[in-house]
Every structure is written in structure tokens, then in C-alpha cells.
Structure 1
Amino acid sequence: MKSSYIKGFFIFVAVVAALTLYVYTQITVRDLKDRQARSVTLWQKSLESAAKDKTGSEDLSLILEVVSNVDFPIIVTDTNMEPLPNFHRNVSMDSVLSDSAKLVLLKKIVREMDDANPPVRVSYKGLIQQYVHFGDSQLVRFLRLAPFVASGAVAVFVLIAYLSFSYIKRNEESSIWVGMSKETAHQLGTPISSLMGWLELLKSSSDNPERQAQIMFEMQADILRLNRVATRFSKIGSKTTVADEDVIALVEYVFNYYRQRIPQMGKNIELKVKESADIIVPINRELMEWVLENITKNAIDAIERGRGSISAEITEDAGFAYIDITDTGKGIEPRNRKDIFRPGFSTKARGWGLGLSLAKRIVEDYHKGKLFIKDTSIGKGTTFRIKLRKNL
């Protein structure tokens, strides 16, 4: 996935989360303010009811008791907007303040309340007797800020997630570059070293034409190998062409290549391809050969006892061809199975962690197939399955 898509995804998540929080908190704030308005109306009705019996401000404790459950600040003033003594609720004031200082503070709070909410008039016989001023509860004030706090938290989370993703991506890219460099050196090193050896033999065989002909034949084989390596690397990252190939013959070709080299590794491993009718699949031969080499080499390395077998079974159905490569090696630890195809991951002391990840990319990105662990058992072996489309 392109990094620009990742950035867009993180931004989209942040925006959706912020909008969701904002809408939710605004709905909650609206419901709480409606509740406050109903409580203020109750104050108003209580005061108007009290005014029918007594128009003064005495003995107001009954009204306070009626609405004792309100959780937001309320101040009652007379018609001149002067706060009535002891007729306020949920308004915090320092007890050491003088009465005049408390009055000044109450007037200031009244102005702030009126800026947020219009005062409610208390009338008696058509005349305004008092005003009820009210503010927002602590919960409402908190919820007003919550979207901004939550959006900031979401932004920080998204930023951390993006930075973590970028860090992992850079590490994987670094592992790929290092692995590609080592793979290139390995792929080129073997035929180049061989050519250097043949060149020395050629110099010492100037008087033996038959020997020279044999050496030149081997040099030609190594040059073809170099050309094949160059072709493989040139196809990575570019649009590849496919052609119908017999995958059974291709597997046999790769196995035969390793049959000639396994004795030099000090191992006794039998490589066999189960007989079957020809199975034709559209593939890029050079790249698929590389995939099979990587899986086979991985299977050879997994057989640590020096003796074992590697078998390939090729089957097909209406839409797909399946290549199952099974070894009798050590198997894959459960904790490593999810990382086995990750670039840079290797259980070998000198492993590069590129072979299987490169093979998976070739199969899945270039051939629209699948490469996965079909079965593995500690001490018994592993089966890798390549699933290829019969029609691309």
C-alpha cells in the first residue's frame, strides 16, 4: 500500500473520530441544557407560587428545598438585577469575603450567566418580581471542552501510529535493500568465482585443445547463469510478461540443478517430483524459477541432520494449479510462522531474510497467486504451497 494512502487513511480516521465525538458531546450537552432549563422553570414556578402568599424575599428555604437537587449555579435577583441575599445555589465563594465583596462577585457572576443563558423572569399579577439567572453545570462545561481534548488525544494517537508505521516501513525497506544487496552478491558471486577458476584453468591448458573446449563450455554455462541473474533482477519492479509453461518440467529443472550441488554441501538429500500429466500455467519462467530455487534452498537448509528428502507434488483443479514442496527438515516454530515471509526475518545465523519474502511477492504480486505454509510440524518437516491461477 502506498504511503500516501496510509496518510490519507490516518487522516480520515482522525477526522471521523473527531466529528463523531463532537456530534455525540453536542447532543449530550443539548440534553443536559434542556434538563437545566426544566429545573430553572421549576424555580420560576416555585417563586411565582411563593409570591402569591408573600412577595418579599423572606423564608426562602422552602423554595431552596423544592429544587435542592439542581447541580448547576443559580442566582436570583430583584428587578434591578441586585442579587437577593442568600438566594443562590452552587456558587462557590470564599467564606472570608465581606458581604459587600460577595455582592460584587455575585453581580459579576450574574453578568457571566446572562452571557451564556438568558435570565428567566418571575412574574406576579403581570408584573416582574424577580429574575432567575443560571449557568452551566461542571459536566456541561467539561463536555463543551471534551471534543477538543478528545480530538487532541486522537491526533496524538494517530501521529504515534503513523510514526510507528513509518518506522516499521523504513526498517523493512532497509532490510529489503540489505537483503537485495546480499542476494545480488550471492547470485553473482558463484558464477563469477567459477569463471575466475575456469580462466586460470584455461591459461594452463593452452596446449590441450580438448580441455580448452570443455572449459569454454563450462564458462558459457556460467555466463548464461549470469545473464539469468541479471534478467531476474531486471524483472523485479517492472511489468512482467507471462507465457504458458509446464510447471512440472520447471520444478524438475530446479530440482536437477540442486541435485548436482547437494553433495558439495555435505548432505544426502533425495529430491523427487511425483509423476503427473503435464500441467500448463501462465507464468514468468525466470521469476518462478527463482521462487522454486528459494523454497528448495530453504528446504535443504531445514534438513540439518544431513540426510532427508524433498518432494514436490503438482496438482490442479478447474481454476488453479498447486505446487506442494515438502521437506523432512526441522519444521517451523509456531512463534515464527507469522514472520516467516517478513523481509529481514531469518532463523539462520547468516540468513538474510529475503528469499521467502521475495518468493511471496513474485507469486502474489506478479502472478496473482498465493504462497503459504500448508503444513509444518516440529521435527517432521514443512510443506509450502504455491497456488497459481490457470488464467491470468
Structure 2
Amino acid sequence: MKLLKKEKASSISPRISKWQIKLLFFVAAFIIILSAIFFTQILVKELVEKEQKAIAFYAKMYQRFTSSAEANVEEFVFIYDNIVPALSFPMIITDGNDKIGEPVESYTINIELDTSLTEAEQHKILDNFLRKMRESYPPVIIYDGDGKILSKIYYTHSALIDNLRIIPILEILVIAVFVILGYLVFSSYRRNEQISVWVGLAKEAAHQLGTPLSSLLAWVEILKYGKDEPNSVLETVKEMEVDLDRMNTIARRFSKIGSAPELKKENISDLIEKFCIYYEKRLPHLAKKIEIIKDLSPNVYAKANYELFNWVIENLLKNATESIEGKRGIIQVSLKDNHKKFIDLIVKDNGKGMTAKQKNQAFNPGFTSKKRGWGLGLSICKRIVEDYHSGKISIKESTQGKGTTFHIRLLKLSE
């Protein structure tokens, strides 16, 4: 008998851990930020180039008018009236010594000055503009016919470019806020989920222990009244042993939650067969009949923990039983090993089925469609199958009014 080699690649459905989800979240945010900065810089560069071409064109026209004896005044007026207003960036025209002519309104473009200020105050403001323009871009120099500096055109980029450069910073701040809020919401959700799981586990333990405890109390009463009948006493003791064994099984199950359980080679066919026989004898005495139909391939082996996998079968059968509302219910349990590497367990019922929303939330801790329940049965099944047995559990099909089909896949071991 050979065991399949245990490799990471053999995992049926590798689950993404919490830190991987957080890492993906931060990587996505980082990529968005970089993309925003990159494309904004491209846009800013294109706008600056367009503005530089515009200033070069204006400088050429200005030079043509000021240095040519045959300058067309009407042509320059047309340019000044139609092209200059289309320029969106600030400009200051000075002489060769960086002196601004008078009146200053004729030598500045897209610079608003308070007319109530004195000329000295206006020149002081313009000098500050000149200093900032020198730091931003070199001036466009205009020469006369003899190569002498006639004037200089200082300029800087428009307010639109300044706004575009601020956008990545705002995007970073907004994304950072969303990342922090997302992290806080995610952490809060995880904490609430953990609290609901622990509360649910405590209630589930009390619920599961309640049945055998009630039975034991009943057996004690029977012993009191039937102590003179040896056969009755012997039969009662046997049933008490069954309930005590049941309590022991429940205790072992809960002791394994949260720790790595020991997995052994188990005959899954026998395990399911034995539990189905046990469960059939203890089906609820309802005003309906429930039949369990078994189709189990013999001698199907897998590496499993007996108590925990038994718990999975119990939860699925209980879930199927509680979903059946008609007079007659059928639960089909099939085990197949048609695949070379996997075994497939199918549990199908003809109960009330689930809505699409219920199907999506069925394995979430605390979710339940029952009036009385804590929503832990299926979440426990998922943890046992996927976390402890490296398998996969899913709802293969569910239709309202027709029933639900659960599918479990485990790695197969050869005999």
C-alpha cells in the first residue's frame, strides 16, 4: 500500500491566507497610485510642451514686429487680439536689462494686478513673479537685426498644470484613507466573526452534549423503576454506554478544534456506512419518513481524522434532515473513487433548497436560514474538510423546492 506523495501542488483547493489578501490589497493600491502619477506626469509634460510651443510662436511674432522695419501693424494687432487671449499661462515682457516697461498692463499677460496699488507696489509684485519665472523656465530672448538683445519674454506654466501636479497627491491621500478604512473594516469584521464563532462553538457544544445528557437522565430513571428486571437493566446499561461514548466523541471533537489533528489512513466507505446506520436509528420521530439511500464504493481510503470527518458527515445529514419539509424525505449518500487522485462524496436531499444568496453565504460562520440555529454546522464542515484535510467542500447544486447537493473531494490513498 502506497501513500500519495504529500506535495503542496497536490492540494485540491489552496486557500488564500489573510496576510495574502492584505498584501494583494496594498499592491493593488500601490499600482493605482503609480499609474495615477505616471499618467499625470505624461499629461503635464504634454501641456508644458504645448505652452512652450505657444510662447515660441508668440515670441517669433513679437520679434518680427519689433525688429522689422516693414512690420505690419494690423497683423500684430490681429495676433494680439486673437492669439494672446487664447494663451492660458502668465507672461512678462522686459527689455534686455529685465526692466518692465510702462504701462505694466501692456507688458504682462494673464497676470492680474490690483489697480489700487501704486506703481512701486505693482513693480514689486511683478519682480516676485519674474523671480519665480526664472526658477521655472529660461526666458525667450528676442534679438534685433544686429544681434542685440531687444527684449525677454518670461513665462511659467498655467494654473492647470499646478492643479494636475496636485492630483496625484490628492489621489494618494484618498487611496490611503480608503486603505486605512478598508483595513479597519476588515479587522473589525474578522474580530466580530471570531466572536460569533466562539459564541457559536459554546452553544454548539451545549447543544450536542444536551442530547446524550438528557438520554442518560432518562436511562437513570428507567434503572430506578426496572432494577428488578435483569434483562431491562442490561439493555439500559448498553444504551447508556452508547450515550457515554457519544459524549466522549463530542469532547474529542471540540478538543481538536484549533489544533492540528492527527490524520490516519481511514476506510472512508466503512466510516460513512457505520455513521449512516447509527444515524438511521436515531432519526427524529417526525410526522414524515426519511430514507437514507447509500451508494458507496467499497474500500475507499483517504488520510483523515475519524472523529472530525465523522462530524462532517453528521452535520451534512442533520442539515439534510432539517431541510426536508414534506411527508417523505430522501437523503442520497454516494462515495466514488473514479478519479485517480481524488475521492468524491455526494450528499443530496430533496428538501426545501436554498436561494442564490443563501448558497453564497452558507459556509459563513453565524449564517443560518433556520429559526433556531447558530450557523456553525457548515462553517465547521468547511474548516474540517479544507483546513485539516486539504480537501474541498462546496454546494454543487441547490434549487428551491427541489433540494441541495453537497460535494466533498479528498485526496485518495491506495489500499
Do Structure 1 and Structure 2 share a fold, with TM-score over 0.5? yes
Task: Say if 1:46 and 1:275 are closer, same or farther in 2 by CA, change over 3 A.
Answer: closer
State how 1:26-175 maps to structure 2 within 5 Å. Answer: 26-53=41-68, 61=77, 64-65=80-81, 67-68=83-84, 69-84=86-101, 85=103, 86-94=106-114, 97=117, 101-124=121-144, 125-175=146-196
Please tell me whether the aligned partners of residues 313 and 325 of structure 1 are also in contact (alpha carbons under 8 angstroms): yes
The structural deviation recorded for 1:361 is 1.9
TM-score if structure 1 supplies the norm length?
0.89
Deviations along 1:154-182, one digit per CA (max 9) or x if unpaired, are 11121222222223222322221122111
* Gaps in structure 1 of 5+ consecutive residues: none
* Structure-to-structure mapping, 1:288-327, within 5 angstroms: 288-317=309-338, 318-327=340-349
Name the residue aligned to 1:24.
Answer: 39
| Residue pair 1:10, 1:162 contacting (<8 A) in 2 also | no
Q: CA deviation at 1:298?
A: 0.5
Structure 1, residues 337-360: CA drift from partner, whole Å, max 9, x if none? 111111111100112111011112
Alpha-carbon separation, structure 2, partners of 1:166 and 1:301 = 34
| Equivalent residue letter for 2:87 | V
Cα distance between partner residues in 1 of 2:18 and 2:294: 42
Higher RCO (CA < 8 A, seq sep 6+): 2
Deviates more, 1:109-118 or 1:328-337: 109-118
Query: SS at 1:368's partner residue?
Result: coil
Higher mean C-alpha deviation, range 294-303 or range 232-241 = 232-241
The aligned counterpart of 2:295 is: 274
Q: Secondary structure at the match of 1:262?
A: coil
2:393 aligned residue: 371
TM-score normalised by structure 2 residue count: 0.85
Stretch of structure 1 that moved more, 297-306 or 76-85 = 76-85
Is it true that 1:338 corresponds to 2:360 in the alignment?
Answer: yes
Contact 1:326 1:383 in 2 (8 A): yes
State yes or no: 1:247 paired with 2:247: no
Q: For residues 71 and 307 of structure 1, what CA distance do their matches in structure 2 show?
A: 82
Measure, in 1, the Cα distance between the counterparts of 2:235 and 2:124.
111
Query: What is the alpha-carbon distance in structure 1 between the residues aligned to residue 111 and residue 312 of structure 2?
Result: 77
* 1:333/1:5 CA distance change after superposition, 3 Å: closer
Find the counterpart in structure 1 of residue 11 from structure 2: none
SS in 1 for 2:351: coil
Does the 8 A contact of 1:325 with 1:385 survive in 2? yes
**Structure 1 vs Structure 2 CA RMSD:** 2.7
The percentage of counterpart residues that share the same residue type is: 37
> Which residue is 2:277 aligned to?
256
2:290 and 2:69 map into 1 onto residues whose CA distance is 109
1:228 alignment partner in structure 2:
249
1:279 maps to a residue whose letter is: V
Counterpart CA distance in 1 for 2:361 and 2:376 is: 12
CA distance in 1, matches of 2:153, 2:69: 17
1:187 aligns to 2:208 (yes or no): yes
CA-CA distance at 1:330 after TM superposition:
1.0
Aligned equivalent of 2:405, options 369, 379, 383:
383
Q: Tell me, yes or no, if the aligned pair for 2:296 and 2:333 is still in contact at 8 Å.
A: no
Q: How many residues align?
A: 391
